[in-house]
Amino acid sequence: MAIVVERKKVDKDEILKPAFQPYESKTSETKNQTDTNQEEYKLPEKKVKNKFHLPVLNINKKDYWESQSVKDRKHFTNEVAAKTCLGNCCGYEGLSAGCCQLDLEDLEHVLGSVDEEDIKKLLLHLKKTQPGIKREDIVIDKEEGMLLGRKFFDDHPVFKEDQSYPMLRIQVFGPRFVCKFLSTKTFMCTVYNHRPQMCVDYYCNFIKANYLLRTKDKPNTWQKVR
């Protein structure tokens, strides 16, 4: 499979910019406002220069994200998830779906591994509109993944690990790659109701550190994960 990547020139000042520190210390006035009015609590907003700019998110590093107290957390409902993940991912204003994208500077995870049963279910769903679709149109197996790793990801070790496969197929988007099933116009999952279980269960450490999550066995119960 031949993939051509167009590289976008990056400004020198952007390269030298210090790593994003997600939480600065609050003043006593700000803290009191947060304590008295939970609805006014807002996540930090960082500007994104353009649609091809993906900050180093560190979404899988526990030590990077400060764990907020229970009183400073909101329930991670579907509405909150949509607003956060589709427009304020990891506290960056205008950034969407960072967990569905791969970047050379922030390759902490890959889009896998996908359970074979989930692949079969996704295939059945897609065949309704794409009769000729095959397994290899949905996922990448290790042999191909290692080639992609060497060519586009500086031979990153994650592409050599068995547990990374099968991974969801990727597509080129500017200077990086995104999941094949992520719309590059709306940044919404195009197979959301049929997405693999690994996607359903995934919460980045930004979410874990800032929100109360619904428990699986008790849907009306919310808990602090970390």
Higher pLDDT, 205 or 108: 205
N- to C-terminal Cα separation, the chain? 41
In a domain? residue 29:
no
In a domain? residue 15:
no
Predicted confidence band at 214 (pLDDT cuts at 50, 70, 90)?
A: confident
Please count the CA atoms within 13 angstroms of the CA of 53 that sit on its side-chain side: 15
What DSSP designation does 103 have? -
Q: What is the pLDDT of residues 6-17, one digit of tens each?
A: 444 444 444 334
Q: How many domains does the chain have?
A: 1
Alpha helices per DSSP H over the chain: 12-15, 28-36, 78-85, 116-126, 142-152, 197-200, 205-210
Q: What is the pLDDT of residues 148-164, one digit of tens each?
A: 999 998 898 889 999 99
Whether 4 contacts 172, CB under 8 Å: yes
Q: What is the pLDDT of residues 58-116, one digit of tens each?
A: 888 888 889 999 999 999 998 999 999 999 999 888 889 989 988 777 776 668 899 99
Model's pTM, two decimal places?
0.73
Which residue segment(s) compose the domain that 187 sits in? 44-224
Q: Which residues, at least 6 apart from 108, have a Cβ–Cβ distance to it below 8 Å?
A: 58, 59, 60, 61
In a domain? residue 6:
no
Q: How, if at all, do strands 211-214 and 222-224 pair?
A: antiparallel
In a domain? residue 199:
yes
At 45 the pLDDT is 58
In a domain? residue 132:
yes
